[in-house]
Structure 1
């Protein structure tokens, strides 16, 4: 864990160098992914199954690669009533939040008499990658599938690494409207969704987090299909004063550190003694945290405590452009309103980031690695697309046509010019 003081000479350079440190997996991963994608594109299901045996030690074949409806029902039924209730509660809130994002179609006639407008339609088929391995992630299913279903996506295909499917994941898939589930993970799952592989038909867009191989595969198939984003390690910044309980803030910082050894947790406070109390609490909580190995590595290698005037916090946050930022203050809006680069902002002492991960209703799929400078979190807009509508009659075409001819001629595109000019001639 690094310590920075705003008052120290060289703070700005040291702070910037720390934020700019690379935390992603090296580029060598891309070579292996390239070969996997090429094989799946050429060989289809045979390659998918081969890579499943090679990488996941999975005995999956064409007869059991798809999770049946009976398996989904049986698995979901294994969930405790408490977990099922929490999944339904979260899904309802996520659905309501995202349905409010639905934009309106538009139609109008301008001063030239041209009928213009646009309409929104849902993507037809979406693939959702749900990680396995470190933990079961029903929240990932909800955050990706519920907005897709709310948008009107007809086919929602979920892929997840082979192995025992966690009951909570199956319950979330059932609740969210997932239409099919496939036992395939890694880069080969992304390839199967992009190109098709036997019974797995290609989709139009792939969303959902994964490891470095999944991310590299999504980067390579972009253009063949759409993708949501290239997710990096998790991040949180907590802006807190000494009026907070140190154990609360420590827990908030560890909530992201436990995701991955490459995750990053940063505390910005104006009270050095409070910062040290938080650090001490992190040490105590790591002793009992079941995810302490990853969390300790993250805090050790990428964590930081920055001692700075709180009025400087918005500027520092804007440079970091974090996935999540908490303002654990009495008047959080005063500073938070100055932040323009953040995936999600959590206001006040009783709004930990974990609320956003599960049940607030907002989406927890957010930009990382400073991408909040130019991108947003997952939303309904990721599952719909806008089509422009244009209609001219004789009067309006007579106004637009000559200008079309002039611009087409200026660009050296005679067929463009002719397609307008020939209609002007007919009118004349």
Structure 2
């Protein structure tokens, strides 16, 4: 039988007469690392308060080791569970060591002073949080990040089985963020259970065993990072487009947010068709959308970096099966999008036998009288993997009137000039 260190069932909690969270449930076992994510105002902190005895639920129950959390004596709870708030209040001039030693209070008898064993526990906790060198400093003289690490050390000094943290990384620099999360992961491997409200979904992805997504006070999704952190969930919950790939080292989900990923696949302005691939058009898609262009693209293989970005931005594209040559059918559909475009923009993609036909599509656009820009950050000779066929077509594009642009900064202004002249 699995032993649950904490269970929450049908928790409703809020302030005054309004529920902020409704019907939330969770189960946490020793060794679990649970991340709670969601937009600002979704109820993450309120739920954590309900789990930490700071906000009594109006309905539902929270159990700590099988007993009603709100029916247990406070000292007993503090020996089992510690809480690191988002913005701890430290207005008195205690030294850092004195603040950390306060975490030993639940383990002391009435009027009992701290002893050598307590000092040793505090020292180890401060070393884990990288604040032992600050032991004699008044907490009022510390930076926000240093104060946060002292409070984390105080929580560790309680020697709890369950640690709750509310966005503990928000005041920390990158090095200390990663150091904290690595330390918590190592402690989870030794049996500590962690529930953490997190703002950074990529950090949650890399370190959490499970993630709970809260939207408007209710659970929207829960599961492993692979199950929860999808483009569809992130779009629905946070309202932004994203590309979810795999971290090269950990193979956990890695999220790249797209500022214009709001479902607006094209503006109302001139139509620009991108002939791209291999990630060469990803940033251009976003920039052209922000400039008000209606953007299309193709032909792209499914799973190509540009195809993933275009899908997240809901750009109209012609696609082909992964790792396949562009078929005649896809080529004809690509020509139809080109026929509707005001401008064709060829990126500095690499060209092989599989996508050579895309250069022929640009040539056809020029024969139809379309404007075409050729972005060439590197000579085509370096990007031609066809034995010279791509270079030959590229030369034909120039003879047909395409304009070659070698500087990235000139590309967007060139696009504007081209469509204005056409208008």
Name the TM-score class by shorter chain: under 0.3
Q: TM-score when scaled to structure 1?
A: 0.24
More helix by share: 1
Q: TM-score when scaled to structure 2?
A: 0.24
More strand by share: 2
Asked which structure has the greater RCO (Cα within 8 Å, sep 6+), the reply is 1
Highest Rg: 1 or 2? Answer: 2
